[in-house]
Amino acid sequence: MPEGPELHLASCYINTVCAGLIFSGKVEKSEVSKNPEVLFESDAYLISATSRGKEIKLTLMPLKEEKNTLPGRERGKEGQSQNGPQQPMDLVFRFGMSGSFKLTSGAELPKHAHLRFYTKESPRRALCFVDFRRFGRWEVHGTWQLDRGPCVMLEYEKFRENVLRNLSDKAFNKPICEALLNQKFFNGIGNYLRAEILYRLKIPPFEKARTVLEALQHRKQQSPDLTLSKKVKLKRENPDLLELCHAVPMEVIDMGGKGYGPEPSDDTAAFEEWLQCYCVPGMRSLRDGNGRTIWFQGEPGPMAPKGEKSRKRRSRVNADPEPSSPKVTKPVPKRSSKGSSSQEKVATQSGRKKGKELVPGAENAKGNKARKPNARSRRKASASQESPMSKTPAADRKRQASARRSTGTATVAPRSRRVKAE
């Protein structure tokens, strides 16, 4: 998600690529965007940008104002007179989760280019606001939001004073990891920056914010005998939380890149190597009260959410796929009560033909606590047993019946039929 450094890099990118370019015509908006129309049209205008925390302001400046052809013309709602000169316009952007700016060919616009400013040259080029998730917003004739504090990067002294002067605010009753996302006091700090700042100072993310920040009010003053160079050195070696809220974003800005470099091939490899905590293997993570994931090392702190288990990110070595192991065949499952395979059906049919060979199978079924056969199966079993008995003498039948009673295989139905036969 774009944070303060990304917004500042975007403003620098716009000022670099738009230097010397003249734009012309209408500002186009995509049909799918729910943001307002930008009713600006000029034969020739310039574009410049500036950033403040998590906001960026584009200024559209006409090169020359044409005189009204007829007196008494009224200006439109968006500062544009009817058939008259176009006034300068400010557009304030908030990038959401995926916003960015790109200067591309006018004939090959990037996908999800929701606002487009065209150059006057031929072939035309277009400065595009690209946002594939469409969470970004722009405000026509916009100004910096009043509920946002001073920028942590460009207004450090005002930022520090604003925090320490308002420590009684209820925002500092929350854990420090949640307070750092409050743009009223930490304008420009986002999810990856808070993780890196707290990690460097070894501050538990769920320590109470006021407890952490009140200690800065009673910080020991440096000796007046120290030279300026020694004071700067000590400050760099032992920075406090608010100083890192300024220094860490500036490190990202000095790194450059992140898609805003002079060459299209710039990537985020340097940024990923710079990260020490955020999404780094071996670090732990928890969701804060706002549902955002905070990465940290060590204990989470006394205000950690109850019932939440910290998840430790696996190392890159363990994350690699394991070597393939020899395939092990699973044993054939036992016959279920609801159905059986075709092989089991064949074995059952062959067992019925053999007659007495079913006795071991009956013992196995008894050992497996199989259910008693239903009436239909009992009739089939009795029929298979009666056929050979009808052809044997009475003495043989009595001997076989006594043998069956001793093995427990005799059933009630065959016994009643034998009584009638005798």
Per DSSP, helices labelled H in 129-227 are 156-165, 176-179, 191-201, 209-217
Q: What is the mean pLDDT of the chain?
A: 78
Higher pLDDT, 134 or 352: 134
- Three-state DSSP at 224 gives coil
CB 123 within 8 A of CB 105: yes
User: What is the distance in angstroms between the CA of the first residue and the CA of the last residue of the chain?
Assistant: 94
| Cα R_g (the chain), whole angstroms | 40
Distance, in Å, from the CA atom of 316 to the CA atom of 242, rounded to the nearest integer, reads 32
Question: What mean pLDDT is predicted for residues 139-167?
Answer: 97
Question: What mean pLDDT is predicted for residues 151-178?
Answer: 97
pLDDT of residue 417: 46
Percent helix, strand, coil in the chain, to 5, is 35, 15, 45
Give the rounded percent of residues in the chain with a pLDDT score beyond 70. Answer: 62
Distance, in Å, from the CA atom of 310 to the CA atom of 304, rounded to the nearest integer, reads 10
Per DSSP, helices labelled H in 256-357 are 269-274, 316-319, 342-354
366 token code pair: 């008894």
**What is the residue whose two structure tokens read 């009817």?**
82
**Residue 294 — pLDDT band, cuts 50, 70, 90?**
very high
Higher pLDDT, 29 or 235: 29
pLDDT of residue 353: 45
Question: What mean pLDDT is predicted for residues 359-384?
Answer: 51
The predicted-structure confidence for 373-417, as pLDDT tens digits, reads as follows 565 555 555 555 554 444 445 556 667 666 666 555 444 444 444
Taking alpha carbons only, the member of 7, 9, 293, 264 closest to residue 136 is 7
**Residue 258 — pLDDT band, cuts 50, 70, 90?**
confident
217 token code pair: 């009010």
The predicted-structure confidence for 48-85, as pLDDT tens digits, reads as follows 999 999 999 999 999 975 444 334 444 444 444 444 56
Taking alpha carbons only, the member of 409, 357, 407, 347 closest to residue 378 is 409
368 token code pair: 């497996």
411 token code pair: 């059933």
Distance, in Å, from the CA atom of 221 to the CA atom of 229, rounded to the nearest integer, reads 16
The predicted-structure confidence for 313-344, as pLDDT tens digits, reads as follows 655 444 444 444 444 555 555 554 444 444 54
3-state secondary structure 194-208: HHHHHHHHCCCCCCE
The lowest-confidence range among 12-21, 170-179, 406-415 is 406-415
pLDDT of residue 23: 98
Question: What mean pLDDT is predicted for residues 296-308?
Answer: 92
2, 5, 62, 150: the active-site residue: 2
pLDDT of residue 360: 44
Under 8 Å CB-to-CB from 175, ≥6 apart: which residues? Answer: 205, 206, 207, 208, 209, 288, 289, 301, 303, 304
pLDDT of residue 69: 39
Higher pLDDT, 86 or 235: 86
CB 13 within 8 A of CB 260: yes
pLDDT of residue 217: 83
Under 8 Å CB-to-CB from 258, ≥6 apart: which residues? Answer: 5, 6, 9, 252, 266, 268, 271
Higher pLDDT, 420 or 32: 32
Asked if 2 is an active-site residue, the reply is: yes
Higher pLDDT, 80 or 246: 246
The angle formed by the CA atoms of residues 243, 246 and 247, to the nearest 5 degrees, is: 80
Question: What mean pLDDT is predicted for residues 5-23?
Answer: 96
Among 10-24, 227-241, 297-311, 405-419, the range of highest mean pLDDT: 10-24
CA distances from 127 to 14, 157, 264, 353 (A): 8, 34, 15, 86
54, 57, 208, 258: the active-site residue: 54
Q: Compute the CA torsion angle 301, 307, 312, 318 (nearest 10 deg).
A: 160
pLDDT of residue 411: 45
**Residue 238 — pLDDT band, cuts 50, 70, 90?**
confident
Distance, in Å, from the CA atom of 406 to the CA atom of 421, rounded to the nearest integer, reads 22
